[in-house]
Structure formats: structure tokens, C-alpha cells
Amino acid sequence: MNKQKFNWQQTTWLKNFGLILIGWFCLYTNAIALPFGIYDARTMAMGGVGVATGARTAAFNNPALLTTADEVHEWFLLLPTVGKQLDDTDDLKDNLANFKQAADIPDVAAIQKNLAAIKSSQYRETKNIAFMLAIPSRILSGAVFLNSYEISNVQPFIDPNDQAAPADPYSSTLSHRGVRIVENGVSAAKALDAESGWMENMAIGFNAKFLLIETYDYTEPLRTADVEIDNNQGINGSQFAIDLGVFKEIGVWKIGLVAKNLIPGSYNYGQTNDKFKIEPQLRAGFAYQSRRSILEFNIDLTKNQPVGFDTASQIAAIGWEWQPWRGFALRAGYNKNLVEPDTGSSTSGTVSAGIGLLYSGFHFDVAGYTGDEGDGISAQLGLQF
């Protein structure tokens, strides 16, 4: 972190910044918030961590980290980062296709078999694409970003009469529920660099965002249904939001706190009266960083609201990054939802891995994960100059 003389008298507004952020954390400790997303390949590879390390993806995880960029390079450009996460552990997509095929014949035994398989299943999908331009500076770091992400899930209703005596027309249905959010934002961060005291080697940052929100809730006849979201079924909304973050170095130890979406919002799912809420997300991060490696732990300080038919979440994650030589990084991670599913069954968590390459200023990162909650992949191309 850059060292410069800090004039406490000329920046008295900073006195209360830390207290304000702590106040937000205390106020919303029991809040229910949108799940804390994974929007870049490095974060996915390291199990979802990124609140205490990672200047290149600071706008997505903790804007205060913009101040930790390598002083040699002044600009970072992500163009773009893309990711997809899919949970079809119940094989709903395949069973639905098999049901349709059996209904075309019709094959009564096959219809009953596939309806039974579909009955207690769910299909979940998350995808995103994001762009970011970050400009670290000794005086004030900044960034602009665009992040578009969609969270959707599908839940069937199987009419008992369809199973008992299969025949067209079928009364069974497939319900869709989800959200699509486009974040347009700017970030700013400042290294306080007090010469002594608790503010030494500390930074603050914020995101100011405008959110375009689209919600979905509709039902299709199972006979003609598809697990993919119909883009023509959405209901639109919009709002402003703010993220606040702090970061502190204590030698090789890094501590980060971030509060996202401090301006709440509430929206109906489609034409229903069921609500989708945007409320503060709170996460803490702790990391150890040596010359070639990083070990980081993150934990949600709030229980996060499920989207659609999903279950609530509160994630604990650990991630590791090792650079055996300059320009090449190996990454691995693990995370677990601390909130058990409504079914009462326990989950074993998710493991992830990835690599990062740097050549002549170009970055290429790729990551993947697998676990009880599905599989995911992410890739990004970046440029530093």
C-alpha cells in the first residue's frame, strides 16, 4: 500500500467512516439478503473468496482492494469475465425430455416412471457476464464496471391423476422463478496511510451502482415446458445501490469487510405478490499473503435470501493461490453453505480449482467447481498496462 502523509485535520469526514460501516454491520446482522455472487474466474477458483485480496476484481468483491494494485501497472481491463453455474443433480432436464418422448408414443410405463423422477426435483442456473476498467492511483483509485447476472430455478408440480392414469391433456406443470440484474457502477477507493494507530495501512472504498432488475414467475404445461427462462415473461424495475468496503494490512495478514447493496429494494416476482428483496449483504475476509502464495478465508455475516424456490445460504469459504513463477498462478478452494436444506439432509460443500496466466500484460483466468449444489465454470480475459 502506498505511503503518503495523512492529514487528519483536512479529512475529518474519514473519522466516522469506519464507525458508520461497523454500524451498518451491526444493524443488519440478522438481515436476509440476496446471495453473495461469484462474478469472476479468480473468485470461483478460490472457493468464492475475494474480500481480503484481489485488486483486479475489487469492484465485485470489495472496492477498497483497488488500493492494493501493483504500483508498476496503472490500469486493469477485464474484457470480459463470463461464468455459468448449473445445478441439475436431480436430472430434471433429461427426465423432462424423456417424459415428452414417452408421451408422444404414448408409453404409459415410461410416462409414470419419468413423472415420478420429475416430482421432487429442481433445476437451478446462474450465469453472468461482466466488464471492468480499474485505475489504481496513489491519490485516489477508481473503476467503472458493468455486471449482468441471472439467477433462475425451476420446480415441477405433478398432478397425481397424471401418474395414476397418464393421458393427454396433462395437468402437471413446470414453474419458473428468477431474476436478472444489470449493475452499472463506478468505484472509488482511498488508502488512508496514517503514520500510526489503527488507521495505519488501511483503505476504504465504495461502489455507486444503478441496477436494472427483471423478475420472472410463470408456469408452463409440463407437456410443452422447457427449463430455460422465457425472456418475454419478465417484469422490469430499477434502483440505486451502494457498496462500502474497508481493508487493512497487518504485515502479511490482510483483513477485509464489505457491505453490499446498502439501499434496499423490494420487487414482485413477475405478476405474483411474492417478493424478491435486495438487502445488505455482509461478508468478512481474512488472508495470509507471502511472496508466492495467498491463503484466504471468507464468511457471510448474514443469512442470504434464496432466489425463487431455492434455499437460504450463509457461506463459509477458503481459497488458496500459489505462484510457482511469475505470470502463472494455481488456485483451489472450498466452500460450504452453513444453512442446512429444508429437507434436513446435510451437504458436503463445493470444491473448486483454476489457473491464471499473465503474458505481455494479458491475463487469462479459468476456473471450475463441482459439488452437491451443481457445477460451474468461469473464464476471463484481462489486460494490464
Alpha carbon 240 to chain centroid, angstroms: 19
Give the per-residue pLDDT at 18. Answer: 47
The Cα 375–Cα 84 span in angstroms is: 9
Map out the domains of the chain with their CATH numbers. 9-384 (2.40.160.40)
Task: Using the CB atoms, write b or e for 75-95: b if 16+ within 10 Å.
Answer: ebbbebbbbebbbbebebbeb
The DSSP code for 91 is -
Q: Of the candidates 36, 34, 62, which has an alpha carbon nearest to the alpha carbon of residue 245? A: 62
Secondary structure in 3-state letters for 278-317: ECCEEEEEEEEECCCEEEEEEEECCEECCCCCCCCECEEE
pLDDT tens-digit profile, the chain (385 residues): 544 443 434 344 444 544 444 444 444 444 345 678 899 999 999 999 999 999 989 999 999 999 988 655 578 999 899 999 999 989 999 999 999 999 999 999 999 999 999 998 999 999 999 999 999 876 789 999 999 999 999 999 999 999 999 999 999 999 999 999 999 999 999 998 777 677 888 999 999 999 999 999 999 999 999 999 888 888 999 999 999 999 999 999 999 999 999 999 999 998 888 888 898 899 999 999 999 999 999 999 988 888 888 888 999 999 999 999 989 999 999 999 998 776 555 667 999 999 999 998 899 999 999 998 789 999 999 998 8
Choose among 331, 278, 339: nearest CA to 307. Answer: 278
- One-letter amino acid at 129 equals I
Give the angle subtended at the CA of 370 by the CAs of 366 and 375, to the nearest 5°: 80
Query: Cα torsion for 152, 132, 33, 302, to the nearest 10°?
Result: 130
Could you give the CA distance from residue 141 to residue 217 in angstroms, rounded to a whole number?
Answer: 40
Closest CA to 89 of 295, 362, 376: 376
Peptide bond connecting 35 to the previous residue in cis, omega within 30 degrees of 0? no
- The label of the residue with cell 408421451 reads 103
pLDDT at 340: 79
Q: Which three cell numbers stand for residue 74?
A: 496503472
Gap between the Cα atoms of 201 and 191, Å rounded: 7
**Helix spans in the chain (H):** 17-27, 41-45, 58-61, 92-104, 108-119, 160-164
pLDDT of 6 reads 38
Distance (Å, rounded) from C-alpha 286 to C-alpha 255?
5
Q: Model's pTM, two decimal places?
A: 0.88
Measured distance CA(115)–CA(102) in Å, rounded: 10
CA angle 170, 175, 180 (to 5 degrees): 150
Cα 282 from Cα 25, distance rounded (Å): 7
Neighbours of 224 (CB within 10 A): 9
Query: What pLDDT was estimated at residue 385?
Result: 81
Query: What pLDDT score was predicted for residue 73?
Result: 59
Contact 364, 345 (CB under 8 A): no
Burial class (CB in 10 A: 0-12, 13-18, 19+), 14: middle
